[in-house]
Chain A
Amino acid sequence: MNELLSIGNLLYGGAAGLIVIGLFAVVARRHLIRVLLGVAVIEAGVNLMLVAAGFRPGAAAPIFDPQAISGPMVDPIPQALVLTAIVIGVAVLALGLTLAIRIHRQYGTLDTVALTRIVNAPAGSPESRAMMQRGGGGHES
């Protein structure tokens, strides 16, 4: 039981679980906001895995304290990497959401099937024009 619930299994298992949950959202959902959120969940899982890679049992956080006795410290590099990765994820997510808002405004849908049909329709075809009208004249303003 202890074996199974060791901190390592919890961290790595949790990370893998987050990745799989996020992947489910990405592959099985049609709504693009959900898909984007799925990507965010995957990133969280990957970040967790990265941090877990620097774990050492009983080690301190990598901040030196002149008063404290210097013991082993955890690896500071993954922590820095994760900081960077989080910010990158935020930036991409924000850009994706902006695009999604704009698309929704123009076409009135974020359904991936409908959007694929629009983007693959030959220019000027009835399909693309119909979708434009449905979205209303919002984007001329």
Chain B
Amino acid sequence: MIPSLDLLLALAFGNLGLMLLAGRNPTAGLLSMILYALQGWVLVMLMPALAEGAASGLAFQVFGWSLSWELNGLGWFFAIITVGAAFFSAWFAAGAWGVQGTRSPWAFHVTLAANVAAMLLLLASRDLLTLFIGWELVTWAGYAMMIQSGGPATRAAYKYLIYGVAGGLAVLAAVVLIQVQAGGLGFAAVAAWMPGISTGMLWALMLLLGVGFGIKMAFLPFHRWQAEAYGESPGPAAAFLGAISSRMGLFGLLILLVHFIGLARLDELLLPLIGLDARILWMWLSALTIIIPTFIALKQNDARMLLAWHGIGQGGYMLLGVLVGSELGVAGGLLHVFNYATYQAVLFLVMGAVVYRTGTAHLDRLGGLITRMPLSYVAMLFAIIGLAGLPPMNGFVSKWMVYKALLDEGLPLLFVAAVIGTLGTILSVFKLIHNVFLGQLRVEHEQIREVPFSMWGPMIALSLIVFITGYMPGLALDLVMVAQTSLGFAALDYHLGGFVTDTGNLNMLAVVSVLLLGMGIGAGIFLLGGNKSKRVHQLDNYAGGHFLTTEVRYHYSHHFYAGLLRLIGPWYITLIKRLEGGIAALTDTLAAGSDGLYRTAYTPILMLAATVLGLALVL
């Protein structure tokens, strides 16, 4: 087998076919894991060929357009994450979860395979037409993945679909417009054509494509669909979707903003009245995307919804970093894609495990699970430290790079905005781990056990990646640099432990070593210096002079952060919510009107009117 793009696509689509046929078989999960691993291997082997682009032999001729595919560095970077996320999700679903935990493991395996295949096709596109085809396939594959658990997920997926179709059609309009105006659709041809176009045209294209790609990425103000859609999906599906699905939007935005338009041109594009340039506009949108959803996440009482809202916010860092444009910023933004995928997958998998055991993800109905599911607890601990962006986990590295880049480039306000987002993150992940794993164990959960290896295995493996790439970010930066150079930016000067820039450097090897040393000393003192604590049952205790009973909750979880939330106020969300409702109501009214029009008793009048108005129009 010679590693090539063809082989990769063949593996991906072969997996899809296999799952369609054999998805009900108990070994299906294992089979698909092997196939994802093989795809990963092919991707790694493809790495040297990326400089010239790994072309595919697959080609179609339709209506005079030739469709063909070619993988470049940017796509490769996203593809690695995709296949990796799929591997761990499939692992999670391969064992107990897949056999008993879901309505149909077949649906999960098939939709996962379909998503991976569609994403690879998208990431390997080399012109706008194949990009659009891949784009639509990703949208529909994502929809299929979301509806599989039925119930409220169906409604969420429906909402996603409406947004997705609208976004897809905006992209389509832009693609056709470009094809007609530029005469070609190849990325290179379009990039060469772009500098010559008028400002109005550029705004139109940026709006259409930006809306289309932005919807997938749940960019403000198109963020309303995502949390529900991901949150309601079953555990491993949510992990996969949360880890990588939305990043397809980022992929599109990067091609649009960096490859096609170019950051320099963005600087020249001034908004009419305010005088803000387009790049700053995008950066502020990114910053708002970080802040607002993060604080909405604070309000959530369902763990999966909380995570999903965070997923939206984290996307903002990635685009913000890339738009800074310096080597450090771009590397930070892209590294965040990788890092985020790892810990978000862990978080959704852990919640999937919790739901598997307890049947709920509601934060008011959980607590104290640390004693029952310690491995899950450790995995979540690693992941939330990553999500919060604290050392020694990998989230810290990428966020640090983005902060530093913002400061270096003289954008302190955006830096403050990004830090506010991080504060919100810390608050809400504390709420998460506190309400799920710490505090009082509920009586009904006293008998539950840790999930089987097939489920904690991928969680722990991924959380180790979270830690290792935090300890040695150079490992992940190897991958990032492939994408960064492919985008046309200079490579960052990095090493295994961190990076070196003119204004300072970071060496995580040292940071983490010091941290671990400190923790080791602390642990040593604690353990050696006489750990005299005695383990008792949680109700074998008293509070306020009373013995505790099962009815009494001493674990504070209701209305977490109520005061803070009163301060923030919900005005920003209701505005867009009302807009959404208004559009729906308008559609309903127009639909009723049209239906009535076709039920009229006086059909000949319509014909006469059409004739007369038509004659008036053309004569």
Direct contact of A and B (CB under 8 A): yes
Contact A116 B604 (CB under 8 A): no
Interface check B542, CB cutoff 8 A: no
| A interface footprint on B566-610 (CB within 8 Å = 1, 0 otherwise) | 000000000000000000000000000000000111101100100
Q: How far is the CA of A63 from the CA of B599 in the complex (A)?
A: 52
Q: Which of chain B's residues have a CB closer than 8 A to the CB of A27? A: 602, 604-605, 608
Contact A120 B599 (CB under 8 A): yes
Name which residue of chain B comes closest to A111, CB basis.
B601
Contact B605 A116 (CB under 8 A): no
Centre residue among B602, B605, B608 by max chain A CB count within 10 A = B602
Q: Which of chain B's residues have a CB closer than 8 A to the CB of A26? A: 604, 608
Contact partner of B600 (CB less than 8 A), chosen from A23, A30, A35, A116, is A116
Q: Is the interface of A mostly helix, strand, loop or mixed?
A: helix
Interface footprint category on A: 10 to 19
Q: Which of chain B's residues have a CB closer than 8 A to the CB of A120? A: 599
Interface footprint category on B: under 10
| B interface footprint on A6-38 (CB within 8 Å = 1, 0 otherwise) | 000000000000000001001100100001000
A122: shortest Cβ distance to chain B, in Å? 12
Contact A116 B608 (CB under 8 A): no
Name which residue of chain B comes closest to A113, CB basis.
B601
Name which residue of chain B comes closest to A30, CB basis.
B601
Name which residue of chain A comes closest to B608, CB basis.
A27
Contact A112 B602 (CB under 8 A): yes
Name which residue of chain A comes closest to B609, CB basis.
A27
Name which residue of chain B comes closest to A112, CB basis.
B601
A113: shortest Cβ distance to chain B, in Å? 4
Q: Which of chain B's residues have a CB closer than 8 A to the CB of A35? A: 604
A92: shortest Cβ distance to chain B, in Å? 15
Name which residue of chain B comes closest to A23, CB basis.
B608
Within 8 A of A (CB), among B375-419: none
Q: Which of chain A's residues have a CB closer than 8 A to the CB of B608? A: 23, 26-27
B595: shortest Cβ distance to chain A, in Å? 10
Q: Which of chain B's residues have a CB closer than 8 A to the CB of A30? A: 601
Name which residue of chain A comes closest to B596, CB basis.
A120
Q: How far is the CA of A118 from the CA of B600 in the complex (A)?
A: 12
A18: shortest Cβ distance to chain B, in Å? 16
Within 8 A of B (CB), among A101-127: 112-113, 115-117, 120
Q: Which of chain A's residues have a CB closer than 8 A to the CB of B600? A: 116
Name which residue of chain A comes closest to B595, CB basis.
A120
Q: How far is the CA of A16 from the CA of B316 in the complex (A)?
A: 69
Q: Which of chain A's residues have a CB closer than 8 A to the CB of B605? A: 27
8 CB contacts below 8 A, A to B, read A23-B608, A26-B608, A27-B608, A35-B604, A112-B601, A116-B600, A117-B601, A120-B599
> What are the nearest 10 A-B pairs in CB distance?
A116-B601, A113-B601, A26-B604, A120-B599, A27-B605, A112-B601, A27-B604, A27-B608, A23-B608, A116-B599
Given contacts A23-B608, A27-B602, 6 further A-B contacts (CB under 8 A): A23-B604, A26-B608, A27-B605, A30-B601, A115-B601, A117-B601
User: What residues make up the interface of B, taking CB atoms closer than 8 Å to A?
Assistant: 599-602, 604-605, 608
User: What residues make up the interface of A, taking CB atoms closer than 8 Å to B?
Assistant: 23, 26-27, 30, 35, 112-113, 115-117, 120
